[in-house]
């Protein structure tokens, strides 16, 4: 790649550099001393470069590599936190270059900085392609598709100067009350392992650091609560909750995120058995461990297993947690003080720094630190990625119910359609979503698919909250239409676990009133988890569309009208009632039956359920 002036240098050089003399054809004079030191030499083995650089660093410079934040101090910085999220591709790449120039030219050793962001189903930085939410990708049961989606995410991420994705989520979900079910690949350790590995392999190939999270068992606290205490045997951890992480690491993940919760009373963020004995000694993990945002502080303020900031930093680092996110609250003065007071041997700091530097060398950050704004503009949201987002949305859709073969709709026999519900003219993208370059809503897509002359009536009827909006209008237009399609959803996400699984607000009432009109009714669920309710028995056709990404409206319309045959399968067990939870398919043999006195123990829809328009 050449710079804007057409020079023959081996990497892009941005106009923002202030010391062009230090950027040579095949190497960068990072410490500005006029000679190629070993750590600057791209031809030397990585371990030799790491050791040379480490030998030159002060204690403050070492600990700076274990920090994250939004600015770069004079002693350098290991990681920057989401500093490009609000910028479109070209501007983001330019800003990334400015930050790298500062890291290289304004610090003594010139160590480039890792920039991270969330990339669960598309990079959260502005105008990145939005793919279906992770649970929807799991419903495709197509690891090759997930690999291609992650390749696209990796290309868009690296092109704009972001080097680390805080993804994928490989926590197992056995209780669909968990608000972050949507971020997972469901309840099965094998499916999760295959999907997570495909995601991590693709990112590694694009020079991006995958960060599987949250290590470990983050979503299965009592009551379906996220990040609550966990008391599991080692056997269940190894059989159910470890395999996804191990598969990601074997596939090339270079970082792992420690979880907020405690495991048998020990916070995961300072659990040496997890972060060192299992992760490194058993699995051979070569990367670095990051904290979940603020989880180091949680050791002190939530779990209360440390008395001071210095003790907190010491516990985390000695356990194997290398980098504190999102800012340096404890891995700063408290950690420096802990080292100087003998609470942490400097050799422990050195080992953590080695891991961070090794990854920076592995992804080529020392040798090619800059992003090309023109490439970022070209790649992010490109046509190829839009088409992939559409295909992923198609494959994710699950046909839950189709009584009387109501679907697919016959355009030749339909003169009018009522498009109703809170999400009829919206496109929810799910948790950790950025602003995509475009969104196609269901209403837009349905209007584009019907035959000329077909009436498309529209009214939301209500919101997902307890707000009535055109409720009677929605029912009235359903009454005069040939078919009604109702788009509904739930309130979920991080910090939004559910105690009830019914549709919130007036959505159930809307569905039931529409059904009472006698008009054939299709319900489209735009959720990341299961819902329950008496309405399910009354509606002939139900589609689970998940959070389908920017092209989701088109994919839903194609399924409704039979242009695409739905083939998605549930990646979790769908309960009849919340009281059955936790509910999953792979129970150990029981000493009793599975039924209750007041309802069957079986699910409403089993793991792997998904109908089709075919009959084989």
616 Cβ neighbours under 8 A, 6+ residues apart: none
Rg of the chain (C-alpha set) = 26
Q: Quote the tokens at residue 575.
A: 């309960």
HEC states along 85-102? CCCCHHHHHHHHHHHHHH
Q: How far apart are CA 290 and CA 519, in angstroms?
A: 54
3-state DSSP assignment of residue 6: coil
Query: 280, exposed or middle or buried, with CB in 10 Å at 0-12, 13-18, 19+?
Result: middle
Q: HSE of 463 in the Cβ direction (CA atoms, 13 Å)?
A: 6
- Ramachandran angles phi, psi of 545, nearest 5°: -100, -10
Q: How far apart are CA 48 and CA 401, in angstroms?
A: 60
Q: How far apart are CA 367 and CA 41, in angstroms?
A: 9
Q: How far apart are CA 154 and CA 164, in angstroms?
A: 9
292 is catalytic: yes
Terminal alpha carbon distance of the chain:
53
Rounded to the nearest 10 degrees, what angle do helices 333-340 and 309-319 cross at?
A: 80
What length is written for the chain? Answer: 616
- Ramachandran angles phi, psi of 542, nearest 5°: -135, 130
109 Cβ neighbours under 8 A, 6+ residues apart: 30, 31, 53, 56, 57, 61, 76
* DSSP states along 176-201: TTSTTGGGS--S-HHHHHHHHHHHHH
46 Cβ neighbours under 8 A, 6+ residues apart: 358, 361, 362
Which listed residue (117, 226, 292, 322) is catalytic?
292
Q: How far apart are CA 553 and CA 426, in angstroms?
A: 9
Catalytic amino acids? 292
């Amino acid at each position: 790649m050449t710079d804007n002036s057409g020079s023959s240098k081996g990497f892009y050089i941005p106009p923002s550099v202030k010391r062009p003399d230090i950027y040579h054809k095949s190497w960068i004079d990072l410490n500005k001393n006029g000679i190629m030191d070993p750590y600057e030499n791209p031809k030397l083995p990585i371990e030799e470069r790491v050791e040379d650089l480490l030998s030159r660093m002060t204690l403050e410079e070492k600990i700076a590599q274990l920090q994250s934040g939004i600015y770069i101090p004079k002693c350098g910085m290991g990681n920057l936190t989401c500093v490009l999220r609000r910028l479109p591709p070209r501007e983001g790449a330019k800003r990334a270059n400015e930050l790298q120039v500062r890291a290289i030219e304004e610090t003594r050793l010139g160590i480039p900085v890792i920039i991270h962001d969330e990339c669960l189903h598309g990079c959260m930085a502005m105008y990145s392609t939005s793919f279906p939410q992770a649970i929807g990708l799991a419903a495709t049961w197509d690891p090759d598709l997930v690999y291609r989606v992650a390749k696209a995410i990796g290309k868009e991420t690296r092109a704009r100067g972001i080097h680390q994705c805080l993804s994928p989520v490989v926590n197992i979900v056995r209780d669909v009350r968990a608000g972050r079910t949507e971020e997972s690949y469901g309840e099965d350790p094998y499916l999760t392992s295959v999907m997570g590995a495909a995601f991590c392999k693709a990112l590694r190939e694009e020079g991006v650091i995958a960060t599987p999270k949250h290590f470990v068992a983050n979503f299965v606290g009592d009551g379906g609560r996220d990040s609550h205490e966990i008391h599991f045997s080692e056997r269940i951890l190894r059989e159910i909750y470890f395999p996804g992480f191990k598969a990601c690491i074997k596939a090339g993940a270079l970082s792992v995120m420690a979880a907020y919760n405690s495991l048998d009373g020990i916070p995961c963020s300072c659990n040496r058995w997890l972060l060192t004995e299992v992760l490194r000694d058993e699995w051979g993990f070569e990367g670095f461990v990051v904290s979940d945002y603020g989880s180091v502080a949680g050791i002190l303020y939530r779990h209360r297993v440390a008395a001071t900031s210095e003790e907190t930093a010491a516990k985390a680092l000695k356990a194997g947690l290398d980098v504190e996110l999102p800012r340096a609250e404890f891995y700063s003065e408290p950690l420096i003080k802990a080292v100087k007071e003998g609470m942490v041997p400097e050799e422990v700091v050195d080992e953590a720094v080695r891991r961070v530097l090794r990854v920076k060398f592995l992804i080529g950050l020392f040798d090619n630190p800059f992003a090309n704004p023109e490439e970022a503009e070209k790649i992010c949201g490109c046509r190829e990625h839009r088409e992939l987002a559409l295909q992923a949305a198609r494959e994710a859709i699950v046909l839950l119910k189709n009584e009387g073969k109501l679907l697919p709709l016959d355009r030749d026999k339909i003169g009018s359609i009522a498009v109703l519900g809170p999400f009829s003219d919206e496109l929810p993208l799910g948790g950790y979503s950025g602003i995509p370059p475009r969104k196609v809503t269901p209403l837009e897509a349905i209007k584009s698919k019907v035959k000329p002359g077909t009436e498309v009536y529209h009214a939301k009827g209500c919101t997902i909250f307890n707000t009535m909006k055109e409720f009677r209008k929605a029912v009235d237009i359903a009454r005069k239409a040939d078919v009604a399609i109702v788009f509904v959803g739930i309130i979920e996400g991080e910090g939004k676990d559910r105690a009830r699984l019914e549709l919130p607000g007036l959505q159930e009432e809307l569905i039931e009133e529409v059904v009472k009109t006698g008009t054939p009714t299709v319900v489209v669920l735009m959720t990341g988890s299961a819902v329950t309710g008496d309405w399910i028995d009354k509606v002939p056709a139900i589609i689970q569309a998940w959070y389908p990404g920017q092209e989701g409206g088109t994919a839903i319309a194609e399924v409704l009208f039979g242009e695409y045959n739905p083939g998605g399968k549930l990646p979790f067990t769908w309960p009849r009632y919340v009281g059955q939870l936790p509910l999953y398919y792979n129970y150990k043999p029981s000493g009793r039956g599975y039924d209750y006195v007041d309802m069957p123990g079986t699910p409403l829809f089993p793991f792997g359920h998904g109908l089709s328009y075919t009959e084989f």
